[in-house]
Chain A
């Protein structure tokens, strides 16, 4: 396939946009993970506030999830294990969104803990808007990602 002229530029712009969005999404996950890693006991309390899992499970999740966020975020930033990182971060976002909606439906006033203390003053609506925006970016990256069987030498060279 010969990509030159206008279509080549458009292709390059597309790659840049995707890389930029991956960098942004990855940075958000790394930032959120670092905030929680700094105080896992506070995050355990935040998880517990949702009343979704028992304390023994919640406290273990509080030690595990932030590192998963950081690793998956770094994978998005450095474009390594990219599809796997997208699947994990997408699943995490779906989980966060589901938990936030569930808590609101139950009338539980929670600090989501998504961004440590920095997010403790975000309202339910803002949490939802933020999480849905990130999920949309992840979905865009998932559906436009390069699949192994679609990469041709010509495409690789032009990228």
Chain B
């Protein structure tokens, strides 16, 4: 590779460190550097069973996956058409109900993102994320 190309690569790689370090300093207290953050709102399927009818299921998967199958009574809410679907969700919501959001599996993060928006944008409390997601629910309810 031409030496000028190598110089350009090193320049860009080096320059990117500057804002990255600045941002890391800014987030130094918010980020966990040695282990992933523990999600206090993560609930197991067993825990949700104890809540009975108070649970309002929120499906954060893509619409086509929701259409194929979902937890009975679950409402679809993802980044697509957020405002309209949130309105539908709020009509079914009541302060005593517990919102349990799930996505495809343990490793997906859409449920965390939707739960975060429900807490901070919609101002809702009692918002939880189902550990293991749809795969966990399906595995226990074949």
Contacts and interface: CB of A to CB of B under 8 A. Distances in A.
B105 A147 contact: no
Given A48-B36, A81-B12, A111-B110, A37 B23 contact: yes
Interface string B33-62: 111110000000000000000000000001
Contacts of A83: 2, 4-5, 8
Interface in A55-84: 55-56, 59-60, 63-64, 67-68, 70-72, 75, 81-84
A68 B12 contact: yes
A76 to B, nearest CB: 11
Contacts of A147: 2
A6 interface: no
B114 to A, nearest CB: 9
B11 interface: yes
B83 to A, nearest CB: 15
A49 B109 contact: yes
Interface size class of A (residues with CB under 8 A): 35 or more
A85 B79 contact: no
Contact of A64 (B11, B17, B104, B113): B17
Interface residues of B, number: 42
Given A55-B36, A109-B107, A120 B7 contact: no
Q: Most B CB atoms within 10 A — which of A41, A84, A108, A148?
A: A84
Interface string A10-52: 0000000000000000000000000001001110111011010
A51 B13 CA distance: 24
Contacts of A118: 79
Interface in A104-128: 108-111, 113, 117-118, 120-121, 123
Given A37-B23, A117-B79, A121-B78, A87 B32 contact: no
A88 B9 contact: yes
A139 to B, nearest CB: 15
A84 B8 contact: yes
A124 to B, nearest CB: 11
Given A81-B12, A111-B113, 19 more contacts: A40-B23, A40-B31, A55-B34, A59-B33, A63-B24, A63-B31, A64-B16, A64-B17, A67-B17, A71-B12, A71-B16, A83-B5, A84-B6, A84-B11, A111-B103, A111-B110, A113-B109, A121-B79, A121-B80
Interface of B: 1-2, 4-13, 15-17, 19-20, 23-24, 27, 30-37, 62, 78-80, 103-105, 107-110, 112-113, 135
